Structures are given as C-alpha cells and as structure tokens.
C-alpha cells in the first residue's frame, strides 16, 4: 500500500478548494468595489453582518438538507413548509398565544410534515423527489388556505424584534474569545487522541496551519460582529443547529448510520441498520428545521406573505449543500462543507447586489456557479477513483 | 502453430501513487488458450484493460503488437476492430434490457432508420445457441442468474467476431455445469483459430483448459511455460514468491454440541405466490464444525442463508433454534443480537460501505455495543477497529483510508472483521473466498480454523467444490431449493456431491439431522 505524499495545506480537508474560492471572491469584490467607489463598504463589519442575516433562514434549512442528501434523498418541499410554518406562527401570535407555546406548536408542525414525507419514503420506498415535490405544492397551498391568501401579521413586537436582536459587542467579544480558546483546546485534544488511537496525526506543519487559519477565522468573526452591533441572536440559533448537525454526524451511531445508508443501503440493512427508520428520522429532522426556519423567516419579514415567503429556499439550500461537496449520490459530505457553500453563495449574491448587477444576470451567474461546483465534484471523484 | 498473435513488450502502467504494471512481457501464440494467473493486485486486470483499449494508448509505457504490428488502441472499439474483445470480471450488462439488446448494444442491426428487431433476436438466439444456453433473447438480463448473465457477456464478445478473446475470471460466478459449457465453447473457438487469454484464480481450471500459463507478480511477468511442464505447487510458488505448504490447513478440534438446529424450513418465493424458493431443510450445525452447503447456481443456497439471517423479504416457516431458543429472526438486527453473522456473497454490493473508511466498516454492525444512549464511545470504537485490523492483518495504511482502496482479499478481511466484532456463535459464509487470491485465501482458512477451535459453528456456501470438500466436516447438498443430501466427510467426494446437485442421484431417503 503506497501512500501519496500531500502538501500540508491539502491535508486541511476536502473543502480546501471552496475555502480558496470564498477568499478569492471576497478579495475580488473588495477590490472591484474599492476601485469603483473608493471605499471599503463591501469589506466592512456592517456588510458582513448583513450577509450573515441574509443566510440564516436558508442556513438552518441547509443543515437538514445535508442530512437528507447524505442518505441519498432530497427534500424539495422545505421552502413551502417554511411558508406554512411561518404563516401558522404568525396566526398563533395574532390569536394571542404565548410565544414559547406558539414556537413549540409551529416546530411540531414542521416535524409532522417531515414525518409525512418520511413515511412515504421509508414505508413505501417512493422516491423522495416525488413525495417532496408533492409537498412543495401542498405546503404552499396550505399556507394560502390557512392565511386566506392574506399577508399575516403576528402583531407581536417582541417576535418581530427577535431576528434583529444582538448580544452587545462587549459580551460578544468575550463569547468569541471563549469559543476560540475552547476550539484550540479541542484541536489539541483531538490530536492527542488521534495519536493514542494509533492514527497518524496530520503533522506539525498542518496543525500549525490549521491553528493559524482558525485564529484568523475567529479574529474575523470578532471584527465583524463586535465592529457592528454584536452577535445576532438568529446567528447563535443557527450556530446551535450547525453544531447539533456536526455532533450527530461525527459522534452518534445515528450519524454513522446516515453515512452507511447513503453509501450502500443494502449493506447497511444487512449490518443490522434499520434503513427505513434512519430515513424517517432524517426527514423528521429536516421538517423540524423547516419549522425553525419558518419562525426565523416570519420574524425577519415581520409577518408572512403566503405566496412569497420561503420561495426557492429549497434550491438555495440544495445549492449550498452541493457546492459544499456533499455527493448527491449520498454517503459523502458534511455540514462543514455546507456552511462554506452557504457563505459562498451569500457573498456572491451580496457582492453582485451592491455592485448593482441586474437581478437576472445574478441568477445566471449563480446557476453557473452551481454547475461549476457539480463539475468540480465529478472531476475530483474521477481522479480519486 | 507457433506464430505470435499478440505480444507485450515491457508494458508499464501507473496510477497515482501505484505502479500497477511494472514491465510485463508476454507472447501469446495463435490459437492457444493462454492462461494468466497472479495474486489479487498483481496487475492482471490492469493488463487486460491495457490490451483491450480501456486504458488507451499513451496512458501506459511499452509496446503492444497485434499480428506483429504495433497496436495503438484509443478505446475498446479500436481494440474490437483489431479483433481483440474483453469479457470483464464485473458484468457490464444493463439489467433492464433484454439479452438481445445487451448483446447488440451499440451495434444494433438497422433497417433504414429503424431497429431491425427480428435480426437482433435472431442473431442473439444464434449466439446463445452456439453457447448452448437455452435463453429467450427477449428475457430481461435482470431475470437471469449470474451464470447465465456471464454467458450473455461471452455472447457479446463472440458477436464482434473477435480472434483474441480476453476473459477476466469468467467462471467466478459459474457452477460446474456452466463451467463445462464455457470450456467446451472455448475449445470450439480454439479449433476455429480464436486465441484466448484466460485469467482465473482457480488453479484446477488452468490445467483443465490452458495450453500455456504466464504467472505475474507485483505487476511484472514471473515466467511463462507450457501447462504440461507445470504443477499446481509450481504455479503457487511462482505467484506468491514462496512455497505454500497446504492450501487447506488441517484442524483437529473436537466437535461440540449442536448450536443451530433447523427443521422443516421453507421460504416463500419472493415474486411467485404459492411457490417456495427453499423447502425441506433440516440440519444441525455443531460447535467447532463447518457445515458446507453445495449445489448449483440458483439451488437456493444463498436464499437459505439470507433467510436464516432474517434478511429474506418473504415469509419463512419452520423451526430454527439457536442453543435451544427459537431463532426465526425478523430482521438482521435480531440475528446479530442473537450471535449470528452473515458474510454475504457479493461484498461490494452487500458487504461493504465503499464510501466509508476501513475502521468505520469494521464497527458498523457493533454500533449498539459501542455507543451509550446513541453517542459513540470513540475510544472503545477505535480500540475495536484496531483490534481487528491487527488480528486479521488487514493491509491498510491507517484505519481511516477508504475501504474501496483495498485489494479484494483485504476487503474480505474487513467484512470478516465487521462480523467478528459482533462476537457471533454462528457464522454464515456465502462464497467467502470468491475473488480472493491464494495467499489471502489460506489466511481466511486459518482464521476459520481458529474460530472453530474457539467453538464457533460455521455454515459455508461455496461454488468451489475443492473448498467445500476440504473445509467441511459435513456437506449439505441442495438442488432446486430442496435439501437432497447430507453427507459426512467420508461420504462427500466430488462425484457424489455433483450427482446429488445435478439430480443424477435421487434425494437421500432420510433427510433428518444426523
């Protein structure tokens, strides 16, 4: 067994290419904007904070979508379910329900929708493309019916403020610093564990590079959030979802089963994994996150327009997952990549918007990026095979 | 007949990080059946791919001459045009299409712009008749057994009127009769002047069919000689570079109490209502013994194992007891918890998760035991991975490398590791050494012997008669879904087993456990 020699940078993981693309894109927009406008409005804490705010709804959906695509399925219904849950959330608040109760009921509704999708996929083995295509239509239709085709206002100041609330910059700085220290500690613990398990640790230069990049990342986050209004609450919520997704994939038997089912469902079943149950649970998680995303969306919009809210969110979520390197065949990928894909798309959209690129052209460019990502995926896989 | 139809001179081929061929020199005489043997990973399949244009000219070093002129194939079509056709180890058929459509894929007879179906079916029928395989050319390939599918693959090569046929382990999925049919066909083709390059792991086949033999090791030619000058021992020694004392290591452990008792077992046919795919099965498997299951392709052997493991999709009736307790499992998970393991026939389709790492595959069936409240105990898990990697001497750089990068023998060891990690008391093995090279096979047998000494019961299905006869303490023979004989080691010889399997001998009268 000969092992290939790799440069330490490549050891940083399969997402290396997309990290580079993200940096390149940010640099490009910064320079172009500076040349045109003579200032750093693009590269400013305020703009980056805006970008973060723009992707939180899709960001929550994309975590669920990553799990769905990892088991080799797809969930096309998420945008419509966002509309349904957003409308329901607003209606409940309008009726004077207490916010916690309304949240629980709305999220539960999302879980029920996910269970419905999962039921057909797991029990009757109908392709999720069809089942969730149905949900794409059903969800939006139900949202229209429940709302009476009207824009629903929650009439709840506290709720509509939530999306724009932040942790004060001082506290944010402390939180980010604590998170950084915790992350560094985890890196060293991971390395010593690797060694004690008999794995080859990635090597000193790779470790140093990883720490340096991590430091830059945390410093950047500190600069962005403390330089503007502090850590947004929806960002913290999203971060919780992301960390939960990572925990499931890396640390639980359920997560391992997700990879196994996506990689080879027959072999997984013969190894004692209940494939139907895994699929069902993944769709329920996706549904739950639709509920969360619906609440975030309603809070951001200050209400819910049943025909518009959540529209095409499913495509953005799928694009983020695929650009992030998760294979549509299932079995390969991670939430880490999805985050990068999410921000790549967000930076692209934001940069083009503030440069005044026409909306239609933006769509074309976004589409081309998605195709490029898929092509890159196929190309690198061909090389590995 | 000594003119050289095909010659390879110092051919080399590199993949990223691996040198698959390292100076292959080969001369094949016209009309010979030239056999080629080497351990898994020795480069046999790569060699065939270079010869057949799958790896086009320019991607390898050295020179290939066909009929004395340099050949520069840019693809398989080029090679076919030069009269060189390949039959791949993995079947390249499209399951949804019919036999005829597969045979003529890409070369469909036409009438004007329309497909000429009658010519297609007629041509296909002719080719299948030539192989004496009575198959309706309209049958979808997916409805055929693997043996018949292989025949379709051969018919495909015959269609292009190849005068050099490359066969990559064509018999790995065939049973005795089908192998005979194939050999007859090859001899007939030989008499018509067709040259065959024949790759196989089965030594006895090389002697049955070959004129000459070339042994390759580590991507290079070790030597070529007339079959008549060679013995099995000589070939094995050339392959591994050392002597292997005994292919089937002896064991002397005592045989213990019955572990698994089966009586009147029957399994419904998954598609045809009212029919049974397996019936009349009754046996006891005892601690420390190998119960071999012999039979032709499609005799219900794999279905029996799958049903015992709780993984067969249709109804199972009858009594199965494991150490006295009822053991008719509703799911593989139940079987695993009760201490039963199943090493499946096709490890790539049913044994391994090829997208996952070696270590992750090893612990896949033991995740319950290695997690608390659903959270993996990574330390315990890694110790388990490490344990089986060392115990089974799995050759992988780390536990984290992708399992698909391993050789066939090492992949099979990973499958064994996965099941041994579940601490089973009964192991069901379905073709455990298929596609595994000689060196790794001996290791497998030694491992089986060690497990038997520890008191495990093994039920082994195998199409390789020498394997069944040499490794089994008793042999159960199946024919058309029924148990037709249960033979002691003394009774079980190749002839008797085949006679029961083919129906030349009527089923034994008393089919109750010995």
| Strands B84-87 vs B164-168: parallel, antiparallel or unpaired | parallel
In a domain, A20, yes or no: no
- Kindly state which CATH superfamily the domain B287-311+329-502 is placed in: P-loop containing nucleotide triphosphate hydrolases (3.40.50.300)
Query: pTM score, two decimals?
Result: 0.80
Structure tokens at A138: 């059903």
In a domain, A205, yes or no: yes
pLDDT tens for each residue of B448-479: 999 999 999 999 999 888 889 999 999 999 98
Q: Where are the domains of chain B?
A: 4-240, 287-311+329-502
Shortest Cα distance from A201 to chain B (angstroms)? 11
Tokens 């690129």 locate to: A357
Q: Are A69 and A321 in contact (CB under 8 A)?
A: yes
Structure tokens at A360: 């239609």
Tell me which chain B residue has its CA closest to the CA of residue A193. Answer: B379
Tell me which chain B residue has its CA closest to the CA of residue A5. Answer: B17
In a domain, A334, yes or no: yes
B333, B356, B397 ranked by CB distance to A272: nearest: B333
Judge whether residue A107 has pLDDT over 60: yes
A253, A260, A269 ranked by CB distance to B356: nearest: A260
What is the Cα–Cα distance from B468 to B465, expressed in whole angstroms? 5
Are residue A212 and residue A134 in the same domain, yes or no? Answer: no
Are residue A202 and residue A288 in the same domain, yes or no? Answer: no
What is the Cα–Cα distance from B366 to B351, expressed in whole angstroms? 14
The confidence score (pLDDT) of residue A9 equals 41
A2, A199, A257 ranked by CB distance to B17: nearest: A2
CATH of the domain at A117: 1.10.3470
What is the Cα–Cα distance from B349 to A65, expressed in whole angstroms? 26
Whether B4-240 and B287-311+329-502 share one fold: the answer is yes
Are residue A63 and residue A146 in the same domain, yes or no? Answer: yes
In a domain, A22, yes or no: no
DSSP E strands: which ranges in chain A?
166-167, 231-232
What is the Cα–Cα distance from A338 to A246, expressed in whole angstroms? 11
Is the ipTM here above 0.95? no
3-class SS letters over B334-359: HHHHHCEEEECCCHHHHHCCCCCEHH
In a domain, A192, yes or no: yes
Are residue A119 and residue A194 in the same domain, yes or no? Answer: no
Query: Does B371 lie at the interface with A, CB-CB under 8 angstroms?
Result: yes
A253, A266, A269 ranked by CB distance to B367: nearest: A253
pLDDT tens for each residue of A351-381: 999 889 999 999 999 899 888 877 876 776 6
Chain centroid to CA A275: 24
A198, A259, A262 ranked by CB distance to B386: nearest: A198
What is the Cα–Cα distance from B169 to B83, expressed in whole angstroms? 20
Are residue A286 and residue A314 in the same domain, yes or no? Answer: yes
DSSP states of A81-101:
HHHHHHHHHHHHHHTT--HHH
pLDDT tens for each residue of B73-101: 888 888 888 888 888 766 778 888 999 99
The domain in which residue A248 lies consists of: 54-166+234-384
The confidence score (pLDDT) of residue B491 equals 92
In a domain, A282, yes or no: yes
What is the dotted CATH code of the domain comprising B4-240?
3.40.50.300
Are residue A123 and residue A258 in the same domain, yes or no? Answer: yes
In a domain, A80, yes or no: yes
Last residue of a domain, one of A213, A229, A245: A229
Query: Does B370 lie at the interface with A, CB-CB under 8 angstroms?
Result: yes
Are residue A361 and residue A311 in the same domain, yes or no? Answer: yes
DSSP states of A286-301:
HHHHHHHHHHHHHHHH
Contact A273 B349 (CB under 8 A): no
Judge whether residue B17 has pLDDT over 60: no
Q: How many domains does chain A have?
A: 2
Integer angstrom CA distances of residue B50 from A149, A346, B70, B86:
66, 47, 14, 11
Substitution target from B353, B410, B417 for chain A, most A beta carbons within 10 A: B353
Tell me which chain A residue has its CA closest to the CA of residue B367. Answer: A253
Contact A253 B370 (CB under 8 A): yes
Are residue A221 and residue A370 in the same domain, yes or no? Answer: no
The confidence score (pLDDT) of residue A383 equals 47
What is the Cα–Cα distance from B77 to B84, expressed in whole angstroms? 9
Chain A residues 321-380 within an 8 A CB cutoff of chain B? 327, 331-332
pLDDT tens for each residue of A250-286: 999 999 999 999 999 999 999 999 999 999 999 999 9
Are residue A128 and residue A219 in the same domain, yes or no? Answer: no
Integer angstrom CA distances of residue B188 from A318, B160, B181, B419:
57, 17, 11, 45
Q: Nearest Cα to A242, choosing from A80, A66, A13? A: A66
What is the Cα–Cα distance from B183 to B208, expressed in whole angstroms? 8
Contact A252 B18 (CB under 8 A): no
Hey, how many other C-beta atoms are within 10 angstroms of the C-beta on B3? 9
Degrees to nearest 5, angle at CA B333 with B332 and B339: 90
Contacts of B184 (CB under 8 A, 6+ apart): B132
Are residue A244 and residue A323 in the same domain, yes or no? Answer: yes
Substitution target from B336, B342, B364 for chain A, most A beta carbons within 10 A: B364
Q: Are B125 and B119 in contact (CB under 8 A)?
A: no
Structure tokens at A319: 């694009």
Are residue A268 and residue A223 in the same domain, yes or no? Answer: no
In a domain, A308, yes or no: yes
Lowest mean pLDDT among A69-83, A301-315, B390-404: B390-404
Shortest Cα distance from A255 to chain B (angstroms)? 9
Are residue A240 and residue A186 in the same domain, yes or no? Answer: no
What is the Cα–Cα distance from B494 to B499, expressed in whole angstroms? 9
Q: Are B350 and A266 in contact (CB under 8 A)?
A: yes
Judge whether residue B218 has pLDDT over 90: no
Instruction: Give the helix ranges, DSSP H, for A198-273.
Output: 204-226, 233-251, 253-263, 265-270
Provide the residue count of chain A: 385
pLDDT tens for each residue of B396-423: 888 888 998 888 889 999 999 999 999 9
Shortest Cα distance from A270 to chain B (angstroms)? 6
Which residues from chain B sit within 8 angstroms of residue A193, using beta carbons?
A: 378-379
Which residues from chain A sit within 8 angstroms of residue B397, using beta carbons?
A: 1, 3
Query: Does B380 lie at the interface with A, CB-CB under 8 angstroms?
Result: no
């Amino acid at each position: 067994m000969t092992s290939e020699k790799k440069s330490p940078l490549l050891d940083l993981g399969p997402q290396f290419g997309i990290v580079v693309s993200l940096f390149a894109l940010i640099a490009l927009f910064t320079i172009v904007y500076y040349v045109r406008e003579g200032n750093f409005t693009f590269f400013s804490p305020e703009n980056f904070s805006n970008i973060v705010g723009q992707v939180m709804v899709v960001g929550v959906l994309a975590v669920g979508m990553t799990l769905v695509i990892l088991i080799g399925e797809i969930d096309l219904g998420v945008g419509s379910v966002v509309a349904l849950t957003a409308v329901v959330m607003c209606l409940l608040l309008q009726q004077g329900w207490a916010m916690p109760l309304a949240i629980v009921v709305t999220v539960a509704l999302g879980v029920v929708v996910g269970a419905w999708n999962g039921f057909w996929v797991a029990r009757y083995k109908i392709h999720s493309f069809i089942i969730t295509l149905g949900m794409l239509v059903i969800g939006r239709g139900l949202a229209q019916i429940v709302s009476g085709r009207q824009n629903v206002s929650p009439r709840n100041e506290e709720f509509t403020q939530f999306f724009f609330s932040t942790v004060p910059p001082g506290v944010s700085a402390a939180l980010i610093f604590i998170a950084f220290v915790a992350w560094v500690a985890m890196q060293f613990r991971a390395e010593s564990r690797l060694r004690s398990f008999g794995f080859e640790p990635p090597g000193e230069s790779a470790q140093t590079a990883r720490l340096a990049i991590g430091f830059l990342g945390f410093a950047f986050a500190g600069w962005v959030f403390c330089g503007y209004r502090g850590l947004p609450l929806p960002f913290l919520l999203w971060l919780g979802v992301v960390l939960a997704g990572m925990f499931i994939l890396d640390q639980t038997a359920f997560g391992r089963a997700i990879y196994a089912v996506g990689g080879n469902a027959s072999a997984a079943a013969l190894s004692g994994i209940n494939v139907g149950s895994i699929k069902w649970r993944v769709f329920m998680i996706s549904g739950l996150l639709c509920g969360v995303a619906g609440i975030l969306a309603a809070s951001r919009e200050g209400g819910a327009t049943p025909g518009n809210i959540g529209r095409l969110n499913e495509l953005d979520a799928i694009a983020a997952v695929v650009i992030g390197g998760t294979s549509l065949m299932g079995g390969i990928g991670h939430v880490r990549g999805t985050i990068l894909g999410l921000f790549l798309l967000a930076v692209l959209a934001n940069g083009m918007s503030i440069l005044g690129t026409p909306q239609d052209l933006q769509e074309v460019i976004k589409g081309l990026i998605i195709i490029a990502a898929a092509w890159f995926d196929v190309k690198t896989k061909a090389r590995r095979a | 007949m000594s003119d050289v139809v095909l010659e390879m001179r110092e051919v080399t081929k590199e993949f990223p990080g691996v040198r698959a061929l390292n100076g292959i020199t080969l001369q094949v005489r016209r009309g010979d059946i030239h056999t080629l043997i080497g351990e898994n990973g020795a480069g046999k399949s790569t060699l065939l791919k270079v010869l057949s244009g799958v790896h086009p000219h320019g991607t390898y070093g050295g020179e290939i001459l066909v009929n004395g002129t340099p050949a520069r194939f840019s693809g398989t079509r080029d090679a076919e045009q030069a009269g060189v056709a390949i039959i791949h180890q993995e079947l390249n058929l499209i399951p949804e299409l019919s036999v005829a459509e597969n045979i003529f894929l890409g070369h469909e007879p036409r009438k004007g712009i329309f497909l000429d179906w009658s010519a297609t079916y007629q041509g296909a029928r002719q080719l299948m008749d030539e192989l004496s395989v009575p198959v309706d050319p309209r049958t979808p390939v997916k409805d055929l057994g693997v043996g018949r599918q292989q025949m379709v693959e051969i018919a495909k090569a015959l269609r292009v009127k190849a005068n050099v046929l490359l066969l990559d382990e064509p018999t790995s999925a065939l049973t005795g009769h089908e192998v005979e049919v194939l050999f007859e066909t090859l001899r007939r083709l030989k008499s018509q002047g067709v040259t065959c390059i024949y790759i196989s792991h089965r030594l006895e086949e090389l002697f049955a069919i070959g004129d000459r033999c070339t042994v390759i090791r580590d991507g290079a030619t070790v030597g070529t000689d007339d079959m008549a000058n060679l013995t099995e021992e000589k070939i094995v020694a050339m392959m591994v570079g050392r002597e292997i004392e005994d292919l089937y290591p002896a064991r002397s452990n005592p045989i213990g109490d019955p572990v698994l008792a089966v009586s009147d077992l029957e399994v419904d046919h998954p598609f045809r209502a009212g029919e049974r795919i397996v019936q009349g099965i009754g046996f006891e498997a005892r601690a420390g013994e190998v119960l071999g299951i012999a039979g032709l392709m499609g005799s219900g052997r794999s279905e029996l194992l799958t049903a015992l493991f709780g993984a067969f999709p249709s109804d199972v009736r009858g009594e199965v007891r494991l150490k006295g307790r009822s053991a008719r499992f509703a799911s593989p998970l139940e079987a695993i918890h009760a201490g039963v393991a199943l090493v499946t026939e096709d490890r790539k389709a049913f044994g391994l998760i090829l997208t996952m790492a070696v270590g992750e595959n090893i612990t896949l069936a033991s995740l319950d035991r290695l997690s608390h409240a659903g959270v993996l105990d990574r330390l315990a898990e890694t110790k388990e991975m490490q344990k089986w990697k060392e115990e089974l001497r799995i050759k992988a750089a780390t536990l984290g490398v992708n399992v698909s990068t391993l050789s066939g023998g090492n992949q099979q060891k990973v499958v064994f590791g996965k099941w041994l990690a579940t601490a089973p008391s009964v192991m069901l093995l379905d073709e455990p050494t298929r596609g595994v090279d000689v060196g790794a096979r001996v290791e497998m047998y030694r491992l089986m012997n060690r497990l038997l000494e520890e008191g495990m019961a093994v039920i082994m299905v195998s199409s390789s008669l020498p394997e069944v006869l040499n490794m089994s303490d008793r042999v159960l023979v199946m024919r058309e879904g029924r148990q037709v004989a249960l033979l002691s080691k003394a009774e079980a010889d190749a002839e008797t087993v085949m006679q029961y399997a083919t129906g030349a001998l009527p089923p034994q009268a008393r089919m109750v456990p010995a």
